[in-house]
Amino acid sequence: MIWNESKECMSRDEMQALQSKRLVKAVNRVYHNVEYYRKKMQALGIEPGDIKGIEDITKLPYTTKDDLRDTYPFGLFAAPQSEIVRVHASSGTTGKATVVGYTRKDIDIWSECVARCLAGAGVTSQDTIQIAYGYGLFTGGLGAHYGAENLGATVVPMSTGNTKKLTTMMKDFGVTAIACTPSYLLHIAETLEENGDLDKIKLKAAICGAEPWTEQMRLQVEEKLGINAFDIYGLSEIMGPGVACDCIYHKGLHVHEDHFYPEIVSADTLEPVADGETGELVFTTLTKEGIPLIRYRTKDLTSITREKCECGRTTARISRFKGRSDDMLIIRGVNVFPSQIEAALLEMGGTTPYYMMIVDRVNNLDTLEVQVEVEERFFSDEIRELENLTKKIAHVIQQAIGLAVKVKLVEPHSLERSMGKAVHVIDKRKLV
Ligand code: DLL
């Protein structure tokens, strides 16, 4: 089960010693190779010699997405172009794309991290795995692909776009594992069910990430497909998929902290919070050459524990993500995360994880309509039954988020299915 015992099962002292050694090297690298970092550190009066170990990390400045945008495209690269063997970029829906570069060593470490995740999910060289994240500038496809090859599994590079072909090959090739977004896995399960193929597949594990999903959704999809579903986390700025992943105990995601040092800080004060408390996740890359980042603010909200896991790994674990601080909606002054709606819907039963939140402002008052797909067997022509169900859903959501909402039931299969990162919110207030 454990793929890299020497790295994933170290004592805390050994881990800290390794992190200290690597941090000192990383700080020297950015100071000497990246003008932007040198100036930032000089402005704070910090010299590389001031950083003697991991305990000095809080002396260092934070890095944000804006820093990457200000230095677009390659300004934070710490290796000459001749050593950069690959670039990836984020879609940049809210501004310029953020571009990241990898040296050959970075790619090797990335594949090892993804391989560790897959091994933790029970995938071995005996497995056939479909990679159904998008290939291209998005890190999902190629990141998962290299990791699966590193492990020696047989890789089927599906990408996204043709679910029919994917399910046919899943059956014909005897596919045993799949890597895709959780929302796409749901769509795949739905397609298999519609075609009466659920009992014709050999799938045993799914490694899903790139978007928030609830524990309720993970359990639902496990039950539907008769598999074990794992949560894999990552972000392009830090590496891509494989920064952290949960194990068969599903009690938090193990961070590959020999390469990525995690801190949890208050999103308001930026002061570190205690283990177990929720805050913003911050990462420092300890071994990256192409684009090492110091104290990168991910905006992802989670908590951390450093207790040893039942699986034997000693690496720090982060809890399932509630969402990003910038995904949080403020509706009539109340903080709402889409994941709260998903959890409430799945807990009540009879509904599907397909929902859309429409936020608007009418007469200076915020409104929230939640469109919900119910399971076919609950969808009835009887107006009275539908009204009762609508009231029940509105009640459950109100209990979960503390806000009265308008619920609209929509026909099964009418909300758009996603093959990448699902969209659950239309905020019309932003459009005016
Ligand atoms: O989504 C990398 C990735 C690909 C991760 C495939 C896992 C699987 P970005 O496009 O840069 O990179 O988006 C990163 O996605 O900051 C989180 O907000 C969100 N995210 C990623 N994984 C998870 C997860 C990839 N397991 C952003 N749970 C991150 C919740 C996730 N959110």
Q: What string of DSSP letters covers 362-392?
A: ETTEEEEEEEEEE-GGG--S-HHHHHHHHHH
The reply to whether ligand 1 has any atom less than 6 angstroms from the CB of 140 is: yes
Domain membership of residue 354 (yes or no) is yes
Residue with CA at minimum distance from ligand 1 atom 15: 210
Residue with CA at minimum distance from ligand 1 atom 1: 210
Q: How far is the CA of 2 from the centre of ligand 1 (A)?
A: 24
The reply to whether ligand 1 has any atom less than 6 angstroms from the CB of 182 is: no
Q: Based on the domain organization, do 320 and 338 belong to the same domain?
A: no
Distance CA 98, CA 380 (A): 47
Domain membership of residue 206 (yes or no) is yes
Domain membership of residue 387 (yes or no) is yes
Give me the amino acid identity at 186.
Answer: L
Q: How far is the CA of 377 from the centre of ligand 1 (A)?
A: 34
The reply to whether ligand 1 has any atom less than 6 angstroms from the CB of 110 is: no
Pocket test for ligand 1, best of 235, 299, 342 (most atoms within 8 A of CB): 235
Q: Is the pTM above the cut of 0.85?
A: yes
Of 304, 326, 348, which marks where a domain is finished? 326
Q: Based on the domain organization, do 191 and 284 belong to the same domain?
A: yes
Q: Based on the domain organization, do 378 and 276 belong to the same domain?
A: no
Q: Based on the domain organization, do 124 and 265 belong to the same domain?
A: yes
The reply to whether ligand 1 has any atom less than 6 angstroms from the CB of 63 is: no
Of 326, 346, 377, which marks where a domain is finished? 326
User: What CATH number does the domain containing 246 carry?
Assistant: 3.40.50.12780
Residue with CA at minimum distance from ligand 1 atom 13: 235
Q: Based on the domain organization, do 315 and 406 belong to the same domain?
A: no
Domain membership of residue 12 (yes or no) is no
Q: How far is the CA of 212 from the centre of ligand 1 (A)?
A: 8
Which pLDDT score is estimated for 1? 47
Q: Based on the domain organization, do 280 and 372 belong to the same domain?
A: no
CB neighbour list of residue 386: distance below 8 Å, 6 or more residues apart: 379, 380, 409
Contact of 88 with 137, CB cutoff 8 Å: yes
Q: Based on the domain organization, do 391 and 306 belong to the same domain?
A: no
Q: Based on the domain organization, do 268 and 321 belong to the same domain?
A: yes
Pocket test for ligand 1, best of 211, 221, 245, 293 (most atoms within 8 A of CB): 211
The reply to whether ligand 1 has any atom less than 6 angstroms from the CB of 214 is: no
Q: Based on the domain organization, do 320 and 339 belong to the same domain?
A: no
Residue 370, domain extent: 334-427
Q: At how many degrees (to 10) do helices 338-348 and 215-225 cross?
A: 50
Q: Based on the domain organization, do 165 and 297 belong to the same domain?
A: yes
Domain membership of residue 268 (yes or no) is yes
Q: Based on the domain organization, do 254 and 397 belong to the same domain?
A: no
The reply to whether ligand 1 has any atom less than 6 angstroms from the CB of 176 is: no
Q: Based on the domain organization, do 359 and 306 belong to the same domain?
A: no
User: What CATH number does the domain containing 397 carry?
Assistant: 3.30.300.30
pLDDT in tens for each of the 432 residues of the chain? 456 778 899 999 999 999 999 999 999 999 999 999 999 999 999 999 999 999 999 999 999 999 999 999 999 999 999 999 999 998 665 578 899 999 999 999 999 999 999 999 999 999 999 999 999 999 999 999 999 999 999 999 999 999 999 999 999 999 999 999 999 999 999 999 999 999 999 999 999 999 999 999 999 999 999 999 999 999 999 999 999 999 999 999 999 999 999 999 999 999 999 999 999 999 999 999 999 999 999 999 999 999 999 999 999 999 998 788 888 899 998 999 999 999 999 988 778 889 999 999 998 889 999 999 988 877 766 777 888 889 999 999 999 999 999 999 998 889 999 999 999 999 999 765
Q: How far is the CA of 280 from the centre of ligand 1 (A)?
A: 14
Residue with tokens 């919110």: 425
Of 270, 298, 326, which marks where a domain is finished? 326
Domain membership of residue 122 (yes or no) is yes
The Cα-based distances of 2 to 117, 205, 356, 403 in angstroms read: 10, 16, 39, 45
Domain membership of residue 16 (yes or no) is no
Q: Supply φ then ψ for residue 305, to 5 degrees.
A: -130, 145
Pocket test for ligand 1, best of 102, 138, 183, 300 (most atoms within 8 A of CB): 300
Query: Number of folded domains in the chain?
Result: 2
Which pLDDT score is estimated for 325? 83
Domain membership of residue 228 (yes or no) is yes
Q: How far is the CA of 139 from the centre of ligand 1 (A)?
A: 9
